[in-house]
């Protein structure tokens, strides 16, 4: 695990509370527990958003520059149940000098795509 992911893992209280972990390959994972469930006993959209946003921040921070997330849009197309593991992987769409756009895919452990987040970050020096 690189220095940026290590720092984000130890200093991100919200991600820690949700048991979101960075993997060595740049992805983030989260196993759904009781605290991640909505009132219908399905995966809470806020938990899935937090997983995707954590992965976005980790990927955008790889440049070593400071970042501010300025816009996100999440589309959820499937859910999950307690015990499912979700993985968020990030692909850069367009990374420039001051702005970066990234696509984050959230998949369930059975391989099903459950959501896609598009995020824009502003880089600072």
Instruction: Please give the Cα distance from 107 to 113 (Å, whole number).
Output: 4
3-124: which CATH topology?
A: Thiol Ester Dehydrase; Chain A (3.10.129)
The predicted pLDDT at position 1 comes to 40
pLDDT digits (tens, 9 = 90+) for 40-86: 877 888 889 999 999 999 999 988 999 999 999 999 999 899 899 99
- So where are the chain's domains? 3-124
Contact criterion met (CB below 8 Å) for 102 and 121: yes
Q: What is the pTM of this model?
A: 0.86
Contact criterion met (CB below 8 Å) for 68 and 121: yes
Closest CA to 27 of 122, 109, 120, 125: 109
Output phi, psi for 78, to 5 deg.
-155, 170
């Amino acid at each position: 695990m690189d220095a940026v992911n290590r720092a984000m893992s130890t200093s991100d209280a919200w991600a820690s509370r949700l048991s979101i972990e960075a993997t060595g390959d740049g992805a983030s994972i989260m196993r759904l527990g009781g605290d991640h469930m909505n009132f219908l006993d399905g995966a809470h959209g806020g938990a899935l958003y937090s997983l995707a946003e954590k992965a976005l921040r980790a990927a955008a921070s790889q440049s070593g520059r400071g970042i501010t997330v300025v816009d996100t849009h999440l589309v959820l197309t499937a859910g999950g149940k307690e015990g499912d593991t979700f993985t968020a992987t990030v692909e850069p769409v367009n990374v420039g000098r001051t702005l970066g756009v990234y696509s984050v895919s959230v998949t369930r452990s059975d391989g099903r795509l459950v959501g896609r987040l598009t995020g824009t970050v502003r880089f600072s020096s």
